[in-house]
Structures are given as C-alpha cells and as structure tokens.
Structure 1
Amino acid sequence: MTDYPTLMMNDDRQIPQLGFGTYQIDDSDAAETVQTALDTGYWLIDTAAIYKNERGVGEGIGDWADIFLTTKIWNESQGYDRTKKAFAKCLERLGRDYVDLLLIHWPCPEQGLAVETWKAFIELREEGLAKSIGVSNFREEDLQMLASETGIVPAVNQIEIHPSFQQRDMRKVHDDMGIITQSWSPLGQGAGLKHDAIKRIAEELGQPASAVVLRWHMQCGLAPIPKASSQEHIEANFRALDFELSDEQMNAIDDLDQKDGRIGPDPAEFN
C-alpha cells in the first residue's frame, strides 16, 4: 500500500482513501466482482450485514490478508448484547478473524441504543476483532453523544456526499473532531455524472466523468467508496488516482451543491 493514497485516522491507523463499495451487489456475484476490484488495484472493500453479501465478499477477498475490510452492524442489531452476537455472525460469513473497520450503520435516534452499541464496539476493538471503529450517517449530536458518554471518538463517519449534496457543515464537524469523512454514493447514483460542468472537465482531461467526481472527493480530503458492477466501471472509477483537478475545476464542482440534494434517508428520521 506504499503508493496508494491513505488518510490517517484518529487511532493512528491508515485507511485507503479510495475504496470499493458493494451495496446492491448480490451475494452470488460478490466474489467475482470483489476479485475484479482487487485485481484492478483497490485496497479497501466495504460491505454491511444488511447487504446480505458478506459471504461472497469474503470469498472474493480470499487470501488477500492485507486488504482493508469494512462491515456494518444493522439497525435491528443495536444494543450491547445484540451487537456482539451480530458481529460474530458477520465474521463467520466473511470468513475472517477480524475486520479493519466496523461501523454502526445508522444512529436510529428513536431506539436510543447508539451509546450501548458503541460500548460494545469499544470492547470489540480492545479484543482485536475490529481494528478500528466508526459510524455511518451520524449527525453532529450523535457524534458528540458517543464522545461525551465514552470518551472515544469514532475514527470514521460514512455519510452521503456527492456533487449535488456536499455536506460541508458535517465535514467541518468531522474536521473539528478528528473524524475521517467517508463518502457513500459518491457519484450520486450516477446523477452526478450528468452535470455539464463534470462533462466539460472530463473532456478537458480525457478522463471518465466518474473518475473526475471521485478525484474531487479525494482532493477535498474525503474517502469515497464507489460501487460498480462491471469491470469497465470498476476500472474507470480507479482512474481517479491518475490525475489532479485544477483549482478552477474544483471550484466548478463545488458550485454544484444543492440544499435539497439528498437522495438517501434522513438520519434524523430513519430507524
């Protein structure tokens, strides 16, 4: 991983900046798709219990012992005991002794179990079963609650970010708290590739539009995890490592932000 761009987490471990997401990849296809991603050069594979493809992802990783692997605990498994049991099943499906990063998938504020779940995560880290621990879709108040109740700040918060929904306020919160911002749906489920500004920059650089958007994430200090199924798209996304955007090009993408750009659930209401 010497030449692969990484970011330093608050637990003094490095996380690969560009990852490969497996959302909506069937378990039967996951092994082959993950193998293609690894052969292309990706060093981070992201899955989750709710994706129901952990077994295939684990098969795809196989003997690649040094790959950075992330999984997530789903909402119905929150709570101290349920988290421990659910994570044991994750490891079993993945065929692994540990994961590099374990995330709470959603804060689920109505359940009120995030702190209890986080305490289980802290123990799993101490036991070496999860090398790093973090969260996904957490709001500022959720992050502050975990930190104040346990003294442990999440290493990562994986949130929806793409050119039409840039979440600058949350990124500032993360910077202030020392949390890595990981971008899910970094291409806006494809919508982010249709902006005229993105198309123009892609033509200027002779690069795929998807790589342009992912490069924007990386130069913003974010860690995108694009999902792709075909080898063509997997390789096109990976070209984000091959070039840099100018200040003018970065500003053009910055200008695409919209207040109503969210395409996923609102974390305040999703339980």
Structure 2
Amino acid sequence: MLAELSPALIAEVKLAAKLLKTKQRICLLTGAGISAESGIPTFRDKQTGLWENYTAEELATPEAFARDPKLSWSWYQWRRQSVADKKPNPAHHALAQWQYDSQTSAQQLTLITQNVDDLHEQSGSTVTHLHGNLWRNRCNQCGVPHQNHARDSYDNDNTVQFEDTLITCSHCDGYIRPDIVWFGEALPMKEWQIAEDAANNCEVFISIGTSSIVYPAAGLAQLAKQNGAHVIEINPNPTRNTIVDITLAEKAGIILPLLVQEMTQL
C-alpha cells in the first residue's frame, strides 16, 4: 500500500513510524478533517436546505439560544439527523487498533478530539472530547445532564427520532440544550486538563485533520514542542508551521492505516 504514495511521502511515513516506535508517550489530537472523510460537514461548510441562510455562528452561541432556543435546538436536531448514519473511516479504525495494541506494549496513547461526533467511540477508541458531544444534552440553566440522550430515542423501525420540540429540565424548568461547547464558551476544565497534561508530557504530538496554527490545536502542539516533543501533522492541506517536524500531506484515512501497519513491521 505504501507504493501508492509518492516516494517523498513514503519516506516521511517510514520516518514517522521509526520515530513513534521508539517513543512511549504519544498525544494525538483529531479535528474536523478526520470526520469530513466520513461525510460529516465541517463548520466551515455552507449550510444547506432550511439552514442555508444561517451561519453556524448564528446558531451555536449562548446568545443565539437565549434569543431563539427553538431555532438553535431545531438546528442541532437537524445536525444529529444528518450525521446519524455516518460511520468511522479507516483513520478511526487505525487509531482504535493502535490504541488497542498499546495495551500490550510500552506505549501510552492519549487521544483528544475537537469533534463532537462519536466516530472514535464507534470504532472502539477511548477519547477525550474538548468541544462536547453531539449526542448528549444538558440543562442550559443549571447544567444538569439530561437523562435522554438523542441516540437513545428510537421508533419502531429502530431509527433515531429527532423531535425539535423544546425540552425542559426536571430540576429547574430551564431549557435543555446540546452538551456542546458553543462559540464564546470556555472548554470544559476536566477535559482541557487531560489534553494539557498529555501535551505537556508526551514525546510525540500528532495533529490529525486540524490546522496546527489554529487554537486550541496550536496551543497544545506548542506546549508539546516546548517540552521537547516531536510534532507530526497529518493533513492533506498542511499548514506552514515551523514547530512541525514531520508533515504527512495526505488524508488521515490513507496515512494512519499505513503508519500503524508500518510500526507493526518494525
């Protein structure tokens, strides 16, 4: 399979595999690019259908929810419906396999994602979500998790239901919202601490499907670099960044299976 890549990219994959094989603490951060390979639109993509006249920023902020909670909730129900049938791609499966193999090796893998989908979980990975989870809800007022997650609501045909009727909290009567980090909101403290600790202590930091110059990815990569880690970027459109040591300019679904395979052969 390596033969399908350019000689320069093959050399970089082999270099990355040799480096990773000798290191114990690996921090991996995934972004929108890995989910896009499974058909999940990114926030940069233009809205479609009923939502084509809106931007994500107009629908995914605390102010938007306060102004029109029904509109914001309906959009998230539409988003859930649009991604409900999406499945992990080879990149997700390769990361899950790598994480599984690490249980019997000397490596410690910490997988962090900026994505709100559950494709990592579907593939069998253990992952920390920095931006929340699309399939979970909580009260906008008191923060209590809502017991009925969207993926748990099925009809007789075993398909997910996406009612856009507003739900109220049984504790305080506040409106239920998606458990997502919206624009203008802080990242969850516990999850950010996990990510920061992993970046601070890793020997290799790998940025996958996300720009290494946009925060929070940039902050984590810089933190890792400052503490002596090597930085690898996997992105078909790599960023020009002096902190990146190895650039694998191809889709994650192509690179990661090859990288994991190459490591097992060393």
Question: Would you call these one fold, judging by a TM-score over 0.5?
Answer: no
TM-score tier (shorter) = 0.3 to 0.5
Bigger RCO of structures 1 and 2 (CA < 8 A, at least 6 apart): 2
Structure label with greater radius of gyration = 2
Q: Which has the higher helix share?
A: 1
TM-score by length of 1: 0.32
